[in-house]
Structure 1
Amino acid sequence: MKKILILLAIVVMFGSCDEGFEELNVNPTKPTQLDPSTKLTFIQLYTGGSSYVATLFYNVIHFMQNIQHLNNTSYVSFLYKEGNTHQLFEEQFSNTVKNVVDLETQLANSTSPTAPVDLAIAKVQRVLIFSRLTDAYGDIPYSEAGKGFIEGIRFPKYDRQSEIYKDMLETLESSAAILSPGTVSSYGSADLLFAGDTDKWRKFANSLMLRLAMRMVKVDNDGAKAWATKAIAGGVMESNDDIAFTQYENSANDGGPNVNPLTKSFTSRSATQVKISKTLMDYMKDRNDPRVSVLFSTVDGDTDFALQSGQDINVATRGNANSKPNINIFGGSGIIIYDAPLFFQTYAEVEFMLAEAAERWGLAGGNVEAHYNAGVTAAMQYLSLYGHGVEITTSQINDYLAANPFVPADALKMINEQYWVATFGNGLETFSNWKRSGYPELVPANVAALLTDGQIPRRLPYPGSEKLNNPEKLAEAIQQQGGDGLLTRMWWDKN
């Protein structure tokens, strides 16, 4: 009995000291929460792709070839089959989405004086991430995405793209309002896009707003005009100093997200597998475009304009190593170096959108030609950001504009064809704007007649993993969207 009483006393004593034991079991040298700046760096690196595998399949092999910037010489039919289109979806939702949602939750509950500004930046980053996903797949998990740990939502619903766009635009508007002049962020150099510069983040938020607004022109012209008006009034990018891009490290053997995933994609392909498309090369050479000698080189690294040629998507000799040029891009160096920047939105794109807004609605001062010329100029000048002697001179640009003057009657065609050239490397954006505008007028490969009713694909199908992980919500999404094929049209794709 005495032993039992002693044991009970010990239990009571230890039970009453439970809080003390919890404190003893906490390692004071380890943080219980990561700093927001650390999370933002990780998110921004993964937004472009964690490795060459993901970027290779969705960007290089699918988007850049569907819009005929490149030509996959080994297996053209790959583009017109439903498969290997899952990497972007799986990687972004498992890494970027859940982390940006977590970052927003942390900042929303923070008492830091910079938390509201830091949160506004995180929200703009989130819009960038989700806009890329919905433009690739259509209806996607959005309002409930990334909340498995935070709210226990293991099977998120798929929101309609129209609702996703509405929320993204409203988020950009509210975030841009917070990022007013004089505001301060705590991110500093951890912010890989703008080093915590809130003015540049505000311009980026409005520039993204303009991009989303222009997507809507064929499905909601009045809404597109209203949002474009807000974006322009709020202040968009004004020069190449405002470009949104991630600068990577020069680490050839780094298998993670620290090196340019586009570079890793290109260097993983042999000279016989990926070539410059004849469609793109002919367009540029017909106009004596100085970017030819800057963007492309022959197999042996020669950048002589006269030597450059592209390969037709249906060429019978595809796979021939001597067929030039290969994927030695930017003078045989540039984008092939591992620390090449990866661009999410450029000032040139913004100027072309302003030109179209001026043409459609008389916005942006109504001077279509001035914005068009500014777009062409910026598209040539920003290539210098790749470094390594990549530069086009002012005289070359002026000569190009003089030889290829703006034609008002062909405004939309010329604007969007130049947009097509200017977004080389950002296949998803080029693909999206081509679907929206219809320019340039592309001809599908011969094999498309057998696989896609002779049409170029309009989207990426959902990954097979979703049929296992979230089957009920996926089935609902497929029904509400009207299918899950390469040719299934998403909400804004009405061209």
Structure 2
Amino acid sequence: MKRIYWIFIVLIGISVSCTKDFEEFNTDQKNPTAVPGDFVFANAQKALADQVASTNVNQNIWKLVAQYWTETTYTDESNYDIVTRTIPDIIFRTYYRDVLNDLKDARNVINSEAAIGEEAAGEKANKLLIIDLVNAYTYNRLVDIFGNIPYTEALDIDNIAPAYDDAYTIYQSLFDKIDNAIANLNADYGSFGDNDLYFGGDVAMWIKFAHSLKIKMAITIADFSNGTAQSIIEGSYDKGFAPGEICELVYPGGSNSNPLYVDLVQSGRHDFVPANTLVDRMNELIDIRMLSYFTAMDFEYDVDPESGARIDTELPGDGVVVLIYKGGDSLVQVDLPFMALAVDTLNPFSYNVGGIYGESNNWSNFSHIADPIQEATFPITLLDGVETYFYLAEAAARNYSVGMTAAQYYNAAITGSFEFWGLTSDDAAAYIAKPEVAYDGANWKQSIGEQSWLAFYVRGLVAWNNWRRLDYPVLNLPPAPETDDGQIPKRFTYPVNEQTLNKDNYYSAGDAIGGDLMSTKLFWDKN
């Protein structure tokens, strides 16, 4: 898979050279000319990617909600307490202030710049359309988290109490915005160059991104407006990302490290372990992506207190576990409890075990998040061909005309996931051949829901969205869910600040969606 590694100086320019300018810029919202528009755009891209990547419990708990990870000592967020740390407030602030407002200011600056000649005019037009696409991606995330949100009246410094727009109406507006970008982006001209942290100014890739974003949004509303979804997807299915094509930010490290590194390594804290929800299912399927997802635990034999010799030792538990023999080249599934014989000590093995979701877990007693994911330079994916192909598998299952069968898209998506995580197409083929994995057209929601969840590891919001739509995979209910109905949340509640600073519009928005509750389903969640 080809990846573009952004020039280090771009991010350094934002975080160091322009620090003083950004401070002045952020205190003078009506005069956003202190910083070049390209830099403001790059800053918005980084803020967006940082929010998507982060596992800081103050701002992004999607990896917990999707039950990829669980907590060790403090279990509030694994039990869906989003109020104590005012998580919705921070999500609102990050997306509106740090992303959308910067995009607006970048647009204003670029609009004010003269474009002399055809090349400059084409480049300027491309920049403005790319800003629209990042804007659409961001608003899409906000709608999928909350439902109705401020949109038409948002980002107006003179209006501190914006009205909330209907969620589906926002979707329609975003479709129009994306269509306009597709119709007018011109790959014959440049755009942001190296200041585009996702594609390095490659306009052709932005066009593919636009089509994949349309596919993503359209399949989301398929149970609400099937005809609209079908029309949109049939017009874009062959124009978006294929597996191996990806919108990502590759962090250079240092002062611009992946937030996962900051949260998991630099903090010196051990707050998270893989959740048993995920680990147990991967053990059941002998899904070798576990070698890329987790750091396995070495099995330790008990010792005879008198002789000091190793003795037969039981690996407790229930269900199954995969024994990973030295080198990772031999995986054997066994039933638990399993008796490891002392005579086998010359053939050491490790295994994966996940922390119990929602409960306190001793960090030392469970598998850990794989080392590469904790590296400062680990890239964060915003949208890619694997995600797109799972959506197209679903489209085919719904009998849309999308060029291939549901099984073909499904198999290609799984293969793309294996290759993304450093495995081979042969590994994927062996996995797909398993009866429990092979595409089941009669139960397509289960097949696609479960396998997309396994593939979207560390992309928690995407996985949670799919779970809400497809009702798969089967997730565990934590011991003390802080939701109004005691179940897994269907949405996040609005920020506490909105209840005081934008009271009338807050209550109107809550009434419009059926109540500002975590149990309230969004318009597209029909099952």
Deviations 1:197-256 (A, max 9, x none): 1110000001001110011012111111122222225x111231x2011111212xx3xx
- Residue of structure 2 aligned with 1:462, choices 494, 517, 527: 494
Q: Secondary structure at the match of 1:484?
A: coil
CA contact (8 A) 1:248 1:341 kept: yes
Distance 1:102 1:303 in 2: 52
Q: How many residues align?
A: 438
Which structure is larger by alpha-carbon Rg, 1 or 2?
A: 1
CA contact (8 A) 1:56 1:262 kept: no
Aligned counterpart, 2:391: 353
* 1:323 corresponds to 2:323: no
Distance 1:371 1:154 in 2: 46
Aligned counterpart, 1:173: 179
Question: 1:162, CA displacement in angstroms?
Answer: 0.9
Aligned counterpart, 1:248: 251
- Residue of structure 2 aligned with 1:483, choices 515, 519, 524: 515
Q: Secondary structure at the match of 2:70?
A: strand
Question: 1:362, CA displacement in angstroms?
Answer: 3.2
Q: Secondary structure at the match of 1:74?
A: coil
Taking structure 2 as the reference length, what is the TM-score of the superposition?
0.77
* More displaced 10-residue stretch of structure 1: 420-429 or 99-108: 99-108
Aligned counterpart, 2:283: 285
Aligned counterpart, 1:28: none
Aligned counterpart, 1:473: 505
CA contact (8 A) 2:50 2:259 kept: yes
5+ unaligned residues in a row in structure 1: which ranges?
Answer: 1-30, 384-390
Code of the aligned partner of 1:163: T
Pairing of 1:256-295 with structure 2 (within 5 A): 258-267=256-265, 273-295=271-293
CA contact (8 A) 1:123 1:172 kept: yes
* 1:443 corresponds to 2:485: no
- Residue of structure 2 aligned with 1:372, choices 402, 410, 426: 410
Distance 2:418 2:181 in 1: 31
Question: 1:160, CA displacement in angstroms?
Answer: 1.2
Code of the aligned partner of 1:364: V
- Residue of structure 1 aligned with 2:419, choices 381, 390, 394: 381
Distance 1:104 1:426 in 2: 29
CA contact (8 A) 1:52 1:262 kept: yes
CA contact (8 A) 2:96 2:155 kept: yes
Question: 1:365, CA displacement in angstroms?
Answer: 1.6
Distance 1:260 1:133 in 2: 22
Q: Secondary structure at the match of 2:363?
A: coil
* 1:157 corresponds to 2:163: yes
Deviations 1:351-401 (A, max 9, x none): 111111111023212411111111001111122xxxxxxx21233222222
Distance 1:144 1:460 in 2: 21
Distance 1:178 1:262 in 2: 36
* More displaced 10-residue stretch of structure 1: 99-108 or 47-56: 47-56
Percentage identity across aligned positions? Answer: 25
- Residue of structure 2 aligned with 1:102, choices 80, 101, 105: 105
Distance 1:299 1:271 in 2: 19
Q: Secondary structure at the match of 1:244?
A: strand
Pairing of 1:426-441 with structure 2 (within 5 A): 426-441=459-474
Go from structure 1 to structure 2 and tell me whether the alpha carbon gap of 1:340 and 1:370 turns closer, same or farther (over 3 Å shift). Answer: same
Superposed CA RMSD? 2.5
Question: 1:417, CA displacement in angstroms?
Answer: 1.2
5+ unaligned residues in a row in structure 2: which ranges?
Answer: 1-31, 116-120, 300-325, 332-349
Pairing of 1:32-431 with structure 2 (within 5 A): 32-49=33-50, 55-59=56-60, 62-78=61-77, 79-83=79-83, 84=85, 85=87, 86-112=89-115, 113=121, 114-148=123-157, 152-180=158-186, 182-232=187-237, 235-240=239-244, 242-251=245-254, 254=255, 258-267=256-265, 273-298=271-296, 306-313=350-357, 318-326=360-368, 328-329=369-370, 332=371, 334-383=372-421, 391-403=422-434, 404-431=437-464
Go from structure 1 to structure 2 and tell me whether the alpha carbon gap of 1:97 and 1:303 turns closer, same or farther (over 3 Å shift). Answer: farther
Go from structure 1 to structure 2 and tell me whether the alpha carbon gap of 1:460 and 1:269 turns closer, same or farther (over 3 Å shift). Answer: farther
More strand by share: 2
Code of the aligned partner of 1:405: A
Question: 1:482, CA displacement in angstroms?
Answer: 2.4
Question: 1:276, CA displacement in angstroms?
Answer: 0.9
Distance 1:107 1:295 in 2: 42
Code of the aligned partner of 2:477: P
Deviations 1:261-286 (A, max 9, x none): 23323336777532111111122121
Distance 1:52 1:209 in 2: 22
Distance 1:452 1:132 in 2: 23
